Structure 1
């Protein structure tokens, strides 16, 4: 119900303050923003829950450089309060020793499966990742400096699938594993040589991709897997032999070996039962058989990502050794993060490894956190499994094992995931045909897996990351104008795949792109981030965590053709993480957290706002209307037109559309545009020419005001208005 108020149109507000050099008067376009109070708010949230940021792993030595008092004060000053801890080791195909103290399953040889010590001792200031020596993927999502053991040319190394996907742990038979070779282009193929490790496959099929030819891992070609005429093996004996796949060679770029039954045998001297679970392959060669019976191998074998033929695998054994410590990456220690003040004393969202770790290590972390008395927003299980080609059923099986281990420690802590890399709405070629059910999108198959086991409620929240623009050389303005609709469509797709609308949604990372570009440190980044927060909350989201909390130097993607330097960060820094300048992202995030939002611990009501232009064209504007707990209205306006100022009239729509009223009391205007911020591109030495906070003016008139929105700007207008909060608010998120 609308509160008792003589319902009228709120004043016509046309927001001005043009930036220097803007379009001359007379060329100003006009639009109207309508705030609809009739149906009540679309969402209710508290900023201390909904508006957050994340900290991540970085290079060795960065934690001590970042977690200094002056830097932490600068980070806290933005006003973002809840915190999420990102797990870079999970992206790098590494096991996370979240506590450097702990024990190995094979203590004598300092190897096997690691479990960190769950008893508090000296504060944990840094933690580390350990590379997995049984790795099968050539490419990873972190430093990307590892390589596959399937084509490293070393007969003593091997890839091994994750033993936790065996029936011993899952209670299920249907978890086929696979390896894929990308030969780079279609070449004649009629034979394969597989040098098996132990355990080996007793039943498997060799297949080729019949369909489109696109680069992996970024391409998603249409087609299907077809088994070679002689590519099915039902009584494999391991060893090292050549298998003829067809009488005649046929062109193929992608080959998949689908592994369906294991020998369940252990290598000599093995004592851990996990050594006998899954599949092990030492080396793979692919090509054509000559008249002499020799294989003409098309696979490039090298202990180098850049030199070897690319391989992709379904899973990886988290077994490793003390000597596998990654010298290049570290995570800030759990105790260091909680002591930093970045959590503001609020519950933190903490990750555990799933793809490359063990349930025991996850449970140990939760015991440690509880013994320290640290408040938790929840536990996020895994990081970007979809971007690492794991089948949804395999992730589901590993997820449930981690859930069971965590629930044994604390039955009430919220658990969720999977921190989607993307919101794919189609099946992936990697795991096509591996399920008894028809191929469907990743989330749809994960939900079906959980539901079939009566475990749907174990997905306590769904998390995803949002970096929608991969082409960092493309014009920025069209992308900015598409961004809100793209996010709204992606969120709607989650529900179309079967996600219950009662499941809380979390964006655990967001930014313009996952790749470095000037847009991230320029005005465009601030505009994009504001639209993400506004759109996400309007669509019912629960919490959005900005990526780039820590100071970072500028970077450039080596593979792009354009000269663009940037980073997702609040602060441009030197290589030692000393802050050199605040970016537009800092000023934009602070505007939302401190001016658009009010008291961070109280409920805010978000109402739908529609933008209509003077013509049939859709204005490049966005509007997000809040009623704050102090009773004030705060409207966030985003002008994504890079050259055109816009006049905007605000009105409230409701059951009495004829009535008109002006603003109640003075209005605060906050505006951020080129007048406050301008970037100077100079390669890795790029800096803002000016970097000032938003302009603040108090508008005291009670009559209609004629003002303008500058090109590429953020504006917050804040004033009294109709007391439209419902008698029964929607759920506070």
Structure 2
């Protein structure tokens, strides 16, 4: 796996530019009248100094909640236990610095003056019972309450475990959220165990929360149920990764490591290997790497983490676990490059009250904890997932129009938070994390191509498209259905259709770039700032391939207007202009090749052809039509940058 490096700018180097003039025809479909305007997209490059250099086989990879069950099911045989690897025995830090917690969301505000805790072992000797609220909008799907206050009688400094009834206040406090913040453990175990992990952390069998009246009658505001979907919502800071073979979920299929390496997905290149951190152990991580090495599989990078930012995990807790896993893995192979954490998203978020809700603050605190503990050098690459649009019910045209800027702003926010000059990797990407029709239509292919090209232009190194395996249409919302997939699965278990995502990916990896392990040079395309925002719906991404052909990818993200494109090269040094030289090859994918039925319960392709492909013998005076919602590749010889 070769590193891609952004070449530094040097002075006294001849500037050239490749200018793409777009003569825009805004066609009214009702009157068939049009008027022409000109938009210039300029691709700037210094000879030998592109904005990025990449190898397609490396840059385009293949890629195949925080609730807790058991605390309020009224079954004393079940319990929750925190992660023992967050105890000072393993972290070397005081437990009070990495407190563990259980948070109860009552759904609406209730009167509270008493809590009943049925502790298992180990139990908390020192803990606070707090009530909280948001200083802004109370959207718990995005962040937990940020303002906490200890109940007047909620501080415990010498807990004894067992069934504890704790009066929290003399009167009642009205609140929706209650948290048990645990700071010191009893370090006891329910059975005599030689495994120190059984003695570390905190364990609770049951929680009751409500009011105790003057007659001593207790009214419980928590609704118990065997399944967490039916019970009062409980959130926890961590969970013990302990598990047994019989706990395996037989409804989940996952290819084994041998199957992946033997399948050809890796193209014979070193793979990016994921290692779970929140729900596994450092010992298992080391065993996984040891197994891969014993089998002779090439591995250079290991991704630590499984979307901790989306599971209410404190960045300091994740950093403490990261350090332990890094130590265990490096004991097996000290040359491996470690990183993560596979962010669920990197959207900037907003500042609610005194608390930032976005991912830059999470990253900033994570990096600060690594630095404080002297392990910042163990973090060698940054990874995240990119599914920019959660609301698949909204129109796609405005979403596509803002997609490029959204990615730019999100990465800029992470850099402002302290992201160093280390490789960036998108380990999953697609239109949405929810099933929507755009994922099965042209919009999905356009979004994916724009994501990859924009990310590489910004200096990104690798992207892994999600959805290689054939799949079904899923409906997660009433308004739409779809799935991130290359292939639609038929009733007979075989592939029934190749989807736009497949054809878009193939244009990206076989026509825009040259398949193989040779280096490509990507140059920067800019739109004249004086142009209207509507014209920026056309994006251009030029690549100089190893075969010394220029490949220009043009994306028309306008849903209803076609564009006419005139391509020319402009030498800024002497003002001369030129065009493609000799014959050119053209590839185009639009609604002329693909049309999806209108059926929100299960759309299917009613026209499904591969991208159009033709060769034009001469390129003099080339004028190219870009249909609405289209992806076009123009490839041929052109003036080459001087070395």
Please give the TM-score of this superposition, normalised by the length of structure 2.
0.92
- Distance in 1 between the 2:13 and 2:138 partners? 61
Superposed, which structure 2 residues align to 1:645-724 within 5 Å?
645-652=562-569, 655-656=572-573, 658-683=575-600, 685-724=602-641
Deviates more, 1:642-651 or 1:544-553: 642-651
1:465 shift after superposition: 0.3
- Residue 149 of structure 1 aligns with which residue? 70
Of the candidates 28, 31, 55, which is equivalent to residue 39 of structure 2? Answer: 31
- Residue 5 of structure 2 aligns with which residue? none
SS across alignment from 1:396: helix
Contact 2:562 2:628 in 1 (8 A): yes
Note closer, same or farther for the CA distance 1:541–1:615 as it changes in structure 2 (3 Å cut): closer
Q: Over residues 473-530 of structure 1, what are the superposed CA-to-partner deviations in whole Å (9 max), with x where a residue is unaligned?
A: 01111001110110111111111110112x1010000001000000001001000001
Superposed, which structure 2 residues align to 1:515-594 within 5 Å?
515-557=434-476, 560-562=477-479, 564-574=480-490, 577-594=493-510
Deviates more, 1:220-229 or 1:356-365: 220-229
- Residue 459 of structure 1 aligns with which residue? 379
1:684 shift after superposition: 5.1
Extract unaligned runs of 5+ from structure 2: 1-9
- Distance in 2 between the 1:266 and 1:221 partners? 31
Superposed, which structure 2 residues align to 1:216-255 within 5 Å?
217-220=140-143, 223-255=146-178
Of the candidates 328, 334, 339, which is equivalent to residue 251 of structure 2? Answer: 328
| 1:638 matches 2:555 | yes
- Residue 4 of structure 2 aligns with which residue? none
Contact 1:165 1:398 in 2 (8 A): yes
Deviates more, 1:320-329 or 1:298-307: 320-329
Contact 1:31 1:614 in 2 (8 A): no
SS across alignment from 2:254: strand
Superposed, which structure 2 residues align to 1:315-714 within 5 Å?
315-425=238-348, 441-501=361-421, 503-557=422-476, 560-562=477-479, 564-574=480-490, 577-612=493-528, 615-619=531-535, 620-652=537-569, 655-656=572-573, 658-683=575-600, 685-714=602-631
Q: Over residues 343-393 of structure 1, what are the superposed CA-to-partner deviations in whole Å (9 max), with x where a residue is unaligned?
A: 221211111121111111111111111111111241111211111111111
Contact 1:426 1:441 in 2 (8 A): no
Contact 1:552 1:577 in 2 (8 A): no
Extract unaligned runs of 5+ from structure 1: 56-90, 92-136, 139-146, 434-438, 728-733
- Residue 63 of structure 2 aligns with which residue? 54
1:169 shift after superposition: 0.9
Higher relative contact order (CA 8 A, sep 6+): 1
Contact 2:389 2:431 in 1 (8 A): yes
1:697 shift after superposition: 2.1
- Distance in 1 between the 2:404 and 2:545 partners? 23
- Residue 197 of structure 1 aligns with which residue? 120
- Distance in 2 between the 1:384 and 1:46 partners? 27
Contact 2:14 2:46 in 1 (8 A): no
1:337 shift after superposition: 1.3
Note closer, same or farther for the CA distance 1:219–1:13 as it changes in structure 2 (3 Å cut): closer
1:23 shift after superposition: 8.8
Note closer, same or farther for the CA distance 1:428–1:252 as it changes in structure 2 (3 Å cut): farther
Note closer, same or farther for the CA distance 1:528–1:487 as it changes in structure 2 (3 Å cut): same
1:662 shift after superposition: 2.2
1:213 shift after superposition: 7.4
- Distance in 2 between the 1:575 and 1:229 partners? 62
Contact 1:316 1:356 in 2 (8 A): yes
1:217 shift after superposition: 4.6
Note closer, same or farther for the CA distance 1:23–1:658 as it changes in structure 2 (3 Å cut): farther
Q: Over residues 425-472 of structure 1, what are the superposed CA-to-partner deviations in whole Å (9 max), with x where a residue is unaligned?
A: 46999x989xxxxx9811101101111122111112111000111111
Note closer, same or farther for the CA distance 1:37–1:188 as it changes in structure 2 (3 Å cut): same
- Distance in 1 between the 2:310 and 2:209 partners? 26
SS across alignment from 1:418: strand
Contact 1:197 1:238 in 2 (8 A): yes
Note closer, same or farther for the CA distance 1:258–1:334 as it changes in structure 2 (3 Å cut): same
Contact 1:13 1:706 in 2 (8 A): no
1:692 shift after superposition: 1.3
Superposed, which structure 2 residues align to 1:292-303 within 5 Å?
292-303=215-226
SS across alignment from 2:252: strand
Contact 2:52 2:459 in 1 (8 A): yes
Note closer, same or farther for the CA distance 1:9–1:410 as it changes in structure 2 (3 Å cut): closer
1:251 shift after superposition: 2.0
SS across alignment from 2:251: strand
SS across alignment from 1:361: helix
- Distance in 2 between the 1:15 and 1:375 partners? 49
Contact 2:60 2:509 in 1 (8 A): yes
1:318 shift after superposition: 1.3
Q: Over residues 389-410 of structure 1, what are the superposed CA-to-partner deviations in whole Å (9 max), with x where a residue is unaligned?
A: 1111111111111111111111
Contact 1:37 1:652 in 2 (8 A): no
The alignment of Structure 1 onto Structure 2 pairs a total of residues equal to 627
- Distance in 2 between the 1:463 and 1:582 partners? 29
Note closer, same or farther for the CA distance 1:610–1:7 as it changes in structure 2 (3 Å cut): closer
Note closer, same or farther for the CA distance 1:222–1:361 as it changes in structure 2 (3 Å cut): closer
1:611 shift after superposition: 2.4
- Residue 110 of structure 1 aligns with which residue? none
Please give the TM-score of this superposition, normalised by the length of structure 1.
0.81
- Residue 271 of structure 1 aligns with which residue? 194
SS across alignment from 1:686: coil
Q: Over residues 591-641 of structure 1, what are the superposed CA-to-partner deviations in whole Å (9 max), with x where a residue is unaligned?
A: 000010014211111111012488533421221111111111111111111
SS across alignment from 1:536: helix
